[in-house]
């Protein structure tokens, strides 16, 4: 649902979308060369936010969107990224898909040890991110617009407002979007 809503919101806007365990490409319509970037296969949690900053610095007039999971956002060193975005006037749209877990860690463990204790456990140890940090506060510390999105019905309006902030006020906007765990 997030990818479809983002695709609708970006319709007609020249943009680049970066995704690190964020929105999938399938439901997101990308037609232009250089409009979709995904994390490298070699790994690198935390890649998305700084990569989008670099792209915004290289082409300040083209909208850049960074979509990532909550764990990836934490690995991106968000305080430094938000400070750089503000200091260099790099307005990004940042979508944090928040399922309150280290999904990449869970996937690695179940992939390597499908019959291991952690794979059989009701709740896999050391993968929960509960209670979830309030990511809005991190963004707001650098004067970014920030909003928590709890339901799918809120998302189109939240995206519209966030895009307005990025494009007209030239500030970052972060949406902390609640999603179901994998």
Return the exposure string of 15-30: e unless at least 16 CB atoms fall within 10 Å of the residue's CB, then b: bbbbbbbbbeeeebee
Residue 74 has pLDDT above 90, yes or no: yes
Could you tell me the pTM of the whole model? 0.89
CB 58 within 8 A of CB 81: no
* Domain harbouring 68, CATH code: 3.40.50.970
Q: How far is CA 10 from CA 129, 167, 177, in A?
A: 30, 12, 17
Dist. CA 3–CA 23, nearest whole Å: 5
Dist. CA 132–CA 175, nearest whole Å: 14
- The count of domains in the chain is 1
Please give the helix or strand (H or E) that residue 86 lies within, else none.
helix 78-87
Which is more confidently placed, 167 or 1? 167
* Average confidence (pLDDT) over 109-138: 86
Could you read off the pLDDT of 26-54 as tens digits, one per residue?
A: 777 777 888 888 887 767 789 999 999 99
pLDDT value of residue 45: 83
Could you read off the pLDDT of 94-120 as tens digits, one per residue?
A: 999 999 987 777 778 888 988 888 888
Listing from the earlier edge strand, what are the strands of the sheet with 173-178? 36-38, 15-20, 63-69, 93-98, 173-178, 145-149
Show the domain range for 103: 2-178
């Amino acid at each position: 649902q997030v990818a479809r809503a983002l695709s609708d919101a970006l319709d007609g806007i020249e943009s680049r979308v970066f995704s690190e365990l964020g929105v999938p490409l399938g439901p997101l319509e990308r037609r232009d060369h250089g409009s979709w970037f995904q994390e490298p296969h070699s790994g690198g949690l935390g890649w998305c936010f700084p990569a989008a900053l670099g792209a915004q610095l290289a082409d300040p007039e083209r909208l850049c969107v960074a979509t990532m999971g909550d764990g990836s956002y934490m690995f991106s060193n968000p305080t430094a990224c938000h400070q750089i975005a503000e200091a260099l006037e790099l307005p990004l749209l940042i979508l944090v898909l928040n399922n309150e877990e280290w999904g990449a860690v869970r996937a690695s463990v179940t992939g390597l040890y499908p019959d291991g204790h952690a794979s059989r456990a009701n709740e896999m140890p050391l993968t929960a991110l509960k209670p979830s940090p309030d990511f809005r506060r991190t963004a707001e510390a650098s004067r970014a617009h920030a909003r928590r999105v709890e339901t799918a019905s809120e998302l189109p309006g939240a995206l519209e407002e966030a895009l307005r902030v990025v494009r007209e006020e030239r500030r970052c906007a972060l949406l902390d979007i609640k999603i179901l765990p994998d």
